[in-house]
Amino acid sequence: MFTGFIHHSAIGGDGLTVAVKDTIDVAGLPTRAGSRSLEDAPPSSRHAAVVQAMLDAGCRIVGKTGLHEFAFGMTGVNAWEGTPANPRFPALIPGGSSSGSAAVVAAGLADVALGTDTGGSIRLPAACCGIYGFKPTFGRVDRRGVLPAVTSLDCVGPFAASMDRLIAAMDTMDPSFSPAPAPNGPLVLGVPSVTADPAIAEAVVRAIAASGAVVRPVELPSLEDAFAAGLTVINAETWAACGALLATGKVGADVAARLEKARATTPDDVAAANAVRDRFTAEVDRALAAVDALVLPTLPGFPMTLAEALAGRIDLRASALVRPFNLSGHPALSIPLPAVDGRPVGLQLVGRKGEDEAVCAIGRRIAPLVANP
């Protein structure tokens, strides 16, 4: 069984043990982004800034983890390196793209793991594997030494099996992060109208009720447009970063097909997507003005089976409720809820830009009331 580790390492202090997604440089190890087209990549000469920050804080790097090739997929499957088993839901996909990072945390093989989230690639596998995953505010965590080098969407963030460990990870990886106390008084959560499997919607409603929060409906009329616009932008930026590697003939079939489609993205398409970005960002900011956070499902449906994914099924709609917040840049946290009929459910909290500490504090407050034990 493939656990998710592709390299084992042992550097650093005696603090949190940390696994690192293989789009993030660790000195002395190659960064291959899950692709055979990069199998001859030389060892990195220096640590990514976020890895160095964690080492400086006394963390111990224990290895690098596999992923969906080029971080360009939602299932987490990888025919070249292997597909990590989902430790808690072994019949289901681990989720992508940060599949290995989610899997090693869910298996208890590392205290925390670093992933990257361009279109839900931390929150989605966190939900699939029944753990916590956090996408910081865009630009909050230093991305030097992370692939792709140029992005308007991608964020480095942590996975953990508890909110306390997730907050401890943020405290080490982001020098500007200062853990905040739980907010005083009743929480006020904004609930947008979204389309989700009825069983998932009911689970989230139960969790919100258990949290004791005051609930206010909010409007995000451009949510669906933001999902589509996020796909346009990631297509353009992934083509720019990885498209030339198609010529090697070594890119996996699923990612190669998606890259070929991405090639057709035009500057006009990107301009239109960025107009949606501006509109949707304003809507999220407006919705957050009178509430502490927004709350909605992480996934609109239950994860597909691993067998379906290995047979070639693709479901980009799995990111319909997470991808929009990459486009807008707001911090977002996935909290595992109790399983429904043996299948995982995640609750997503979205907060104001730059208020990552507040989102984590709200998560820490409500997790004992709502989370999967």
**Residue pLDDT, tens place only, 28-78:** 999 999 999 999 999 999 999 999 999 999 999 999 999 999 999 999 999
Gap between the Cα atoms of 363 and 154, Å rounded? 22
- Which tokens is 330 given? 């707001």
Among candidate residues 118, 21, 140, 97, the one with its CA nearest the CA of residue 325: 118
Catalytic position from the list 9, 98, 101, 121: 121
Average pLDDT of span 345-351:
98
Residue 183: per-residue pLDDT: 80
- The CA distance from 285 to 297, in Å, is 19
Give me the residues paired with residue 156 across strands.
116
The catalytically annotated residue of 9, 21, 37, 334 is 21
Rounded to whole angstroms, how far apart are CA atoms 284 and 115? 24
pTM of this prediction exceeds 0.75: yes
Burial (0-12, 13-18, 19+ Cβ within 10 Å), 250: middle
Superfamily of domain 1-373: Amidase signature (AS) domain (3.90.1300.10)
Query: For residue 75, what pLDDT is reported?
Result: 98
Q: How far is CA 225 from CA 190, 192, 232, in A?
A: 20, 15, 11
The pLDDT of residue 182 is 80
Which among 96, 114, 95 is positioned nearest to 105, based on CA atoms?
Answer: 114
1 Cβ contact list (under 8 Å, min separation 6): 85
What is the C-alpha separation between 189 and 205, in angstroms, rounded? Answer: 12
Q: What is the chain's Cα-based Rg?
A: 19
| Backbone angles phi and psi of 293, in degrees to 5 | -165, 160
What is the Cα–Cα distance from 84 to 25, expressed in whole angstroms? 20
Q: Is the pLDDT of residue 184 over 90?
A: no
How high is the mean pLDDT of the chain? Answer: 97
Q: Are 121 and 72 in contact (CB under 8 A)?
A: no
Q: Is 98 a catalytic residue?
A: no
**Span 85-103, mean pLDDT?**
98
Cis peptide bond prior to 121, omega within 30° of 0: no
15 pLDDT more than 80: yes
Residue 373 pLDDT greater than 80, yes or no: no
Catalytic member of 9, 35, 37, 97: 97
Residue 186: predicted pLDDT: 93
% of residues, the chain, pLDDT over 90: 97
Q: What is the pLDDT of residue 305?
A: 98
| pLDDT at 367 (0 to 100) | 97
Looking at residues 123-131, what average pLDDT do you find?
A: 98
Which amino acid is residue 156, in one-letter code?
V
Residue with tokens 């992060």: 177
Q: What's the pLDDT score for residue 53?
A: 98
**Per residue in 260-305, pLDDT tens?**
999 999 999 999 999 999 999 999 999 999 999 999 999 999 999 9
Average pLDDT rounded to a whole number, residues 101-124:
98
Active site residue 97: yes
- Report yes or no: 346 and 367 within 8 Å, Cβ to Cβ: no
Cα–Cα dist 318/314, whole Å = 9
DSSP state of 89: S
> Element (H or E) spanning 310, and its range?
helix 306-310
Integer Cα distance of 147 and 159 in angstroms: 18
Q: Which of 1-10, 115-124, 140-149, 245-254 has the lowest mean pLDDT?
A: 1-10
Alpha helices, H only, 153-222: 163-173, 198-211
Give residue-wise pLDDT tens across range 227-258: 999 999 999 999 999 999 999 999 999 999 99
Kindly list the domain boundaries of the chain, sorted by start residue. Answer: 1-373
Q: Which helix (H) or strand (E) holds 14?
A: none
The predicted model gives 315-328 an average pLDDT of 97
- In this prediction, residue 73 carries a pLDDT of 97
What is the rounded distance in angstroms from the CA atom of residue 216 to the CA atom of residue 294?
Answer: 9
Q: Is 21 a catalytic residue?
A: yes
Q: What gap in Å lies between CA 25 and CA 31, rounded to an integer?
A: 6
Kindly state the average pLDDT of the residues 130-136: 99
